[in-house]
Amino acid sequence: MSLLNRIAGPEDVRPLTTAQTSRLAAEIRTFLVENVSRTGGHLGPNLGVVELTIALHRVFDSPRDTIVFDTGHQAYVHKLLTGRQDFSGLRTRDGLSGYPSRSESEHDVVENSHASTALSWADGIARANDLQGRRDRHVVAVVGDGALTGGMAWEAINNIAADPTRRLVVVVNDNGRSYSPTVGGLANHLDTLRVTRGYEAFLDWGKRTLQQRTGPPGRFAYGWLHGLKKGIKDVVAPQGMFEDLGLKYVGPVDGHDVAAVEAALRRARDFGGPVIVHAMTEKGRGYTPAEEDVADRFHAVGAIHPETGLPVAPSRFGWTQVFAEEMVAIGRRRRDVVALTAAMLHPVGLAPFAHEFPDRTVDVGIAEQHAATSAAGMAFAGLHPVVAVYSTFLNRAFDQVLMDVALHRAGVTFVLDRAGVTGDDGPSHHGMWDMAVLRVVPGLRLAAPRDEPTLRAALRAAIDVDDAPTVVRYPKGALPDEMPALEDLDGVHVLARHAAGAGASSAGRVLVVGVGAMAPVALAAGESLAAHGLDVEVVAPTWVLPVPEPLVKLCGERDLVLTVEDGVVDGGVGALLAQRAAEQGVRTPFVHRGLPAAFIAHATRAQVLVAQRLRAEDAVREALAALSQD
């Protein structure tokens, strides 16, 4: 029987010998490659934290001691060591989440997979422990080095350092990467720490020398040693940045040496105050295809051949690639266009632009707020910035979009990848909030293209706007077939017209509005409604914010308007259209189909659409019911 199969919880990890922990680490890596290659998931980050996670569960007593992960995609090993070894349904409906999940285990605390938040969680939990007299408990935050590029992490550190007695341990998992190689001053600082291991050894030599010459160090000897430490720390000990904040620093330590990590963690646990443990790890450790990969393709994978790391099915031509191509074409025409990304150069499709225009590409790290405001500054100084992020991550920068970009009428374009239903990453990654949130931003214009030509056209049009923020959103995955317009009504594209048959009722004129990726659903719904003898017109406005006036006019000419969107339906684009129509005296009833204001669990996109009644047949049923009531 393998060691891993005998692990039902952390209590089974602590009695293992050093040799057994090495064997367990090897078994875990084999398990991860075999299982994640079948389901897809975050393979590279978890291969890199095997020994670190084993050590955490040998030193700390979870769940009595709280362990939080930033971000949660590095928690697969934690799941295995806390009794969850059925990975057959990883990131599929009713299977294990790809992130920590409170519904799965009492060992999971923070479900939000957005980065740079764990230190604030840890600070809050540690404060609560102190206030409630739980001085025998520790809080551990496992933070990827990329997460420390986010400003929220440093806000938390500022507060953590204010109380020297708080029992809080920050483990910096330093692999030099987040999604891509970690960038910025912090990354340079950690690079320096990696090559200055001689500092502690040098101090130990100083102590031994004093003891040999003077016996146990006396007052003079301690003064000499303190002066020595102060004199050299800025030269060979850049960990002084942390210590000057009031945080004890331990490391760097080899994150793949269980015994070394355990020793460092025990020192931190027993210190009695906030401590940073700096562990150096290798992303993709032990899996040759991942170790040799320079593009970080193994951060998150689909189904792959475990022997080679190659995809089981080749990637299909998708929305992100169209954006990537069009950005390069625009960059060649316009020297003022610059691109910004928040540590996701490859995932959002900016790598080709960066290759051709390296001086016009900025990776700010996991710092969406900074990206938005820096872009406002660039716009003021004469450039046109394009900020490419996942839709879910723009939520983090709403204040900056509102007060720094929109208030100052800055010509900044935000490109939102993974908009709408994203599927297997679950509630924190569904890009369903953007339209409902951004509709309140004065002057903002938002496009929801439906296919490749409208995406290219929307991006070009967005970049031509220099006096307001523009947004272009599109979903994850493969492109649909092109849906050419029968007619362009001043920006509102008519995709289909179905005349009512003989004997159609006078209350049978329906307008179907498909928003962005839901245009195919709108077309299918239009055909079905026409089969019921209704007069149907299907439209898809590319620019949905602000509401196009021609669309409001069309609403007034129909007996029912059916809107279909893949964003939050309450306060979404359809609801805004109905509001604008009512303001202009239009009395046409509306039926809105979209996503609820709820956190939707991980499942495939198709499964989510079924569960949320967002198929064509669902929309048709609602429309027919509304017409029958009239």
**Residues annotated as catalytic (active site), given as ranges:** 283, 368, 396
DSSP codes of every residue in 349-381: T-HHHHHH-GGGEEE--S-HHHHHHHHHHHHHT
- The one-letter code for the residue type at 204 is D
The number of residues in the chain equals 630
Provide φ and ψ at 510, rounded to 5°.
Answer: -120, 135
Exposed / middle / buried, residue 265 (Cβ in 10 Å: 0-12, 13-18, 19+): buried
Is the bond preceding 546 in cis, omega lying within 30 degrees of 0? yes
Residue 287 annotated as lining a ligand binding site: yes
Residue 175 annotated as lining a ligand binding site: yes
DSSP state, residue 149: G
Alpha helix segments (H runs only) across 3-117? 18-39, 43-47, 50-59, 76-81
Strand partners, 338: 385
* Structural tokens at position 96: 């294990």
Q: Are 457 and 482 in contact (CB under 8 A)?
A: no
Residue 115 annotated as lining a ligand binding site: yes
Residue 200 annotated as lining a ligand binding site: no
- Exposure pattern of 487-518 as b/e (b: 16+ CB <10 Å)? eeeeebbebbebebeeeeeeebbbbbbbbbbb
The C-alpha atoms of residue 27 and residue 21 are separated, in whole angstroms, by: 10
* Structural tokens at position 245: 């904040």
Closest CA to 598 of 436, 450, 483: 436
Residue 368 annotated as lining a ligand binding site: yes
Residue 429 annotated as lining a ligand binding site: no
Residue 540 annotated as lining a ligand binding site: no
* Structural tokens at position 496: 């289909």
Q: Are 268 and 285 in contact (CB under 8 A)?
A: no
- Measured in whole angstroms, the distance separating CA 228 from the mean position of its chain's CA atoms is 45
Q: Are 291 and 284 in contact (CB under 8 A)?
A: yes
* Structural tokens at position 15: 């009695």
Task: Map residue 178 onto helix, strand or coil.
Answer: coil
Residue 147 annotated as lining a ligand binding site: yes
Task: Map residue 293 onto helix, strand or coil.
Answer: coil
The C-alpha atoms of residue 588 and residue 330 are separated, in whole angstroms, by: 42
Q: Are 483 and 520 in contact (CB under 8 A)?
A: yes
* Structural tokens at position 167: 């029992």
* Structural tokens at position 180: 């891509």
List binding-site positions for thiamine diphosphate.
Answer: 73, 113-115, 146-147, 175, 287, 368
Q: Which residues are annotated as a binding site?
A: 73, 113-115, 145-147, 175, 287, 368
